[in-house]
Amino acid sequence: MNVKLSVSDLDLYYGDFQALKSVDLDMFEKEITAFIGPSGCGKSTLIKTLNRMNDLVEGCRIMGKVTLDGEDIYKDIEVSTLRKRVGMVFQKPNPFPMSVFDNVAFGPRTHGVKSKAELEEIVERSLRDAAIFDELKDRMKKSAMGLSGGQQQRLCIARALAVEPEVLLLDEPTSALDPISTSKIEELLASLKKDYTIVIVTHNMQQALRISDKTAFFLLGEVIEHGDTETIFSLPKDKRTEDYITGRFG
């Protein structure tokens, strides 16, 4: 199994606050890696570092190294190329207030695709990959704001897929959704695994258990334990991991 994303000795500060402390973590190709941990433990911060969304945050200093296929994402890769290769889906579904079609076509257009036929093909493929094409094929020209929360989130996944990323980052993608939409997204992620490397932040430990191959447990900015999901959830090595996953934390 190849290492797709590798984080080594990463320290991250927001002003004086150290949000991540010497994090070392490898994420493997075509696997789902879940980040778990209590709120404010740094898991969202780390996932945002992986496609440099933290660049937008003022006073954010990052030390250490993050590599994508061995290339340093802060030195060797241009930020827009990085974000094309490492797509992101956010906690709250955030479709643009545009039509379904334009939402999905936004990324390809950003990266220079102009031909209408090509865009149409990309949009259909992305919506199919996100398992939402059949639901939306008659609503391409309608505003995405009229969709249900679950549909919006899958549309956002389709939008991220449209730029043909290699890695998909998801920051608590189902925390705002009902159980049925949640299970649809979980199904979707399981099927996307064969083509993409997926990293997901989740508060729902059952979800991490259901869908991820690897799990990393964060506490106060440190990775306490990471490894095979089944092992972490059946036989954690660290007492803090055990306390957290068995719900006896804090």
List residues binding another protein (CB under 8 A): 51, 53, 56, 58, 79-84, 87-88, 90, 92, 94-99, 102, 106-107, 110-111, 156, 159-160, 163, 205-206, 209, 228, 230-231, 233-236, 241-243, 245-250
37: left (phi over 0), alpha (psi -120 to 50) or beta: left
226 neighbors 213 (Cβ within 8 angstroms):
no
CB of 24 vs another protein, minimal distance in Å: 22
CB of 9 vs another protein, minimal distance in Å: 26
CB of 159 vs another protein, minimal distance in Å: 7
What token pair was written down for 109? 């257009």
CB of 48 vs another protein, minimal distance in Å: 9
Q: Going by C-beta distance under 8 Å and a sequence separation of 6 or more, which residues neighbour residue 128?
A: none
Q: How far is 38 from 114, CA to CA, in rounded Å?
A: 44
- Choose between 22 and 183: whose C-beta lies nearer to another protein: 183
Residue with tokens 């920051």: 171
- Choose between 177 and 245: whose C-beta lies nearer to another protein: 245
- Choose between 99 and 175: whose C-beta lies nearer to another protein: 99
Query: DSSP character for 235?
Result: S
List the helix and strand counts (H, then E) for the chain.
10, 10
Q: Going by C-beta distance under 8 Å and a sequence separation of 6 or more, which residues neighbour residue 42?
A: 12, 19, 20, 23, 218, 220, 221, 222
- Choose between 22 and 139: whose C-beta lies nearer to another protein: 139
Q: How many CB atoms lie within 10 A of CB 75?
A: 9
CB of 249 vs another protein, minimal distance in Å: 6
- Choose between 8 and 80: whose C-beta lies nearer to another protein: 80
7 neighbors 24 (Cβ within 8 angstroms):
yes
Residue with tokens 């969304």: 53
CB of 94 vs another protein, minimal distance in Å: 4
- Choose between 22 and 220: whose C-beta lies nearer to another protein: 220
